[in-house]
A and B are shown apart, each in its own frame.
Chain A
């Protein structure tokens, strides 16, 4: 015997005999003794009668004839569309192979374009990159040998008298006065109209000069006698532009640092 809760759950199916035989029997027995569930079953039965009384719709014969004609026309129409021509050839393997080939082609074209753009400036200058670098190193060495004594001494001499001016010119800044510096070859010093690369080199040189201990001009003579100047290395790099030459002055050994000044890392 089933209880009301289970009977209520089964009644929607009981009214159309959609239950298994045992369940159908169990619900039937429950309805014999339970008035509430019997009323519920009657309501469901009435609802079923109501919906089934909807009847069979009869559609207009002309509508149906039009429908058949439309179907027959579609069926009889020769299908010579592009898709139908290529459809038998269509295969997912072909599609995959085609997609991979297309991808490779596009990536190859992009790579070629990228490599070409990297080589283009050096080719235009007519100097391959490794040759250009070697040439610059050689020039720097020759310049160092030739001017090690004369120019370096001149630099030291000028640095005593007009150190700020010399530094500004080396940094590519416009000097306060345009008076030429005696003993300094104007061609050796970089011009103020530097390129971006020259500016970058000057910036690093400026860092070095800032970190180096500054000597006031009045103390310069005194300090020269007591403290030995560090031995300097001069490097000149001729850029692609014949008007621009980069000069790099750097001590061969790291200079002694003043107390309280942090070592550059």
Chain B
């Protein structure tokens, strides 16, 4: 009984925090729309990690991700007056991120991300982990293989996997962000997960070298 009460209290607390966070973001958006540079800076601080992470997962290297993030915030500033407060801000921002990443990927053409080169140059982002250095190295190796697996997907498949499986957004929300239908998104998710599983199976069986 006491456990249930604690769970309810935790959920209520999270809801309260989320609600405060949302109202804080809305306040920043309103101020940024009226030209408040500080409010816009705070808005960037609140979303920079998420934007960078999504761009990096989509594009596969830090340099392109940084360029994409810069373009995302410029577009955000430009289109902020058109933002409809009735829609979720995060979803609207994700849509900008995905569109910018598609543009960047198109511009770079067939140039594939070189995770090995980034790793050698020490540019790979550090994963948030409390692991020791040995474990961190193993995780970095795993990360490299996962990124390779992601690189086998098409742009659309990669976008749905990044949003659904790595960002944890629901299928319906992903469909809204990508301007698609839930059925199409499910089909793309199914294909992408099958490809990733096949890649991992090949890797585990030794068919793919590290």
Residue positions of A touching B, CB distance < 8 A: 9, 12-13, 15-16, 18-19, 43-44, 47-48, 50-60, 63-64, 67-68, 70-72, 74-76
- Docked-complex contact A71 and B70, CB < 8 angstroms: yes
A56: chain B residues within 8 A (beta carbon): 49, 53, 127-128
Interface residues on B, range: 35 or more
A70: chain B residues within 8 A (beta carbon): 70
8 Å CB interface, B136-164 against A? 139, 142-143, 146-147, 149, 161, 164
Residue positions of B touching A, CB distance < 8 A: 37, 40-41, 44-45, 48-49, 52-53, 56, 62, 66, 69-70, 73-74, 77, 125-129, 139, 142-143, 146-147, 149, 161, 164-166, 171, 186, 189-190, 193-194, 196-197, 200-201
- Docked-complex contact B53 and A68, CB < 8 angstroms: no
B201: chain A residues within 8 A (beta carbon): 43
Considering the chains assembled together, what is the distance between the CA atoms of A56 and B126 in angstroms? Answer: 9
B66: chain A residues within 8 A (beta carbon): 63, 67
Please pick, from B41, B149, B193, the residue contacting A68 in the complex, using a CB distance under 8 A. B41
Considering the chains assembled together, what is the distance between the CA atoms of A56 and B166 in angstroms? Answer: 9
Considering the chains assembled together, what is the distance between the CA atoms of A75 and B72 in angstroms? Answer: 12
By CB atoms of chain B within 10 A, which of A48, A56, A70 has the most? A56
Q: Which single residue of chain A is at the shortest CB-CB distance from B203? A: A50
B196: chain A residues within 8 A (beta carbon): 47, 51
State the Cβ distance, B59 to closest chain A Cβ, in Å. 12
B139: chain A residues within 8 A (beta carbon): 53, 55
Please pick, from B77, B127, B189, the residue contacting A12 in the complex, using a CB distance under 8 A. B189
Besides A58-B127, A64-B52, 4 more A-B contacts (Cβ < 8 Å) are: A44-B193, A50-B200, A54-B146, A71-B44
Q: Which single residue of chain B is at the shortest CB-CB distance from A19? A: B186
- Docked-complex contact B197 and A44, CB < 8 angstroms: yes
- Docked-complex contact B126 and A57, CB < 8 angstroms: yes
Considering the chains assembled together, what is the distance between the CA atoms of A57 and B66 in angstroms? Answer: 13
A19: chain B residues within 8 A (beta carbon): 186
9 contacts between A and B (CB under 8 A): A13-B190, A16-B165, A43-B201, A55-B143, A57-B128, A72-B40, A72-B41, A75-B40, A75-B77
State the Cβ distance, B162 to closest chain A Cβ, in Å. 10
- Docked-complex contact A71 and B74, CB < 8 angstroms: yes
B149: chain A residues within 8 A (beta carbon): 51
Please pick, from A15, A47, A55, A74, the residue contacting B129 in the complex, using a CB distance under 8 A. A55
A76: chain B residues within 8 A (beta carbon): 37
A63: chain B residues within 8 A (beta carbon): 62, 66
Please pick, from A16, A47, A72, the residue contacting B164 in the complex, using a CB distance under 8 A. A16
State the Cβ distance, B18 to closest chain A Cβ, in Å. 18
Considering the chains assembled together, what is the distance between the CA atoms of A132 and B197 in angstroms? Answer: 93
- Docked-complex contact A48 and B193, CB < 8 angstroms: yes
State the Cβ distance, B142 to closest chain A Cβ, in Å. 7
State the Cβ distance, A241 to closest chain B Cβ, in Å. 69
B40: chain A residues within 8 A (beta carbon): 72, 75
Please pick, from A12, A58, A72, the residue contacting B37 in the complex, using a CB distance under 8 A. A72
Considering the chains assembled together, what is the distance between the CA atoms of A29 and B49 in angstroms? Answer: 41
Given contacts A75-B37, A76-B37, whether A53 and B142 have CB atoms under 8 Å apart is yes
B197: chain A residues within 8 A (beta carbon): 12, 43-44, 47
Please pick, from A16, A55, A68, A71, the residue contacting B128 in the complex, using a CB distance under 8 A. A55
A47: chain B residues within 8 A (beta carbon): 193, 196-197, 200
Q: Which single residue of chain A is at the shortest CB-CB distance from B147? A: A54
- Docked-complex contact A71 and B171, CB < 8 angstroms: no
B200: chain A residues within 8 A (beta carbon): 47, 50
Considering the chains assembled together, what is the distance between the CA atoms of A13 and B186 in angstroms? Answer: 7
Q: Which single residue of chain B is at the shortest CB-CB distance from A9? A: B190
- Docked-complex contact B44 and A68, CB < 8 angstroms: yes
B194: chain A residues within 8 A (beta carbon): 12
A51: chain B residues within 8 A (beta carbon): 146, 149, 161, 165-166, 196
State the Cβ distance, B48 to closest chain A Cβ, in Å. 5
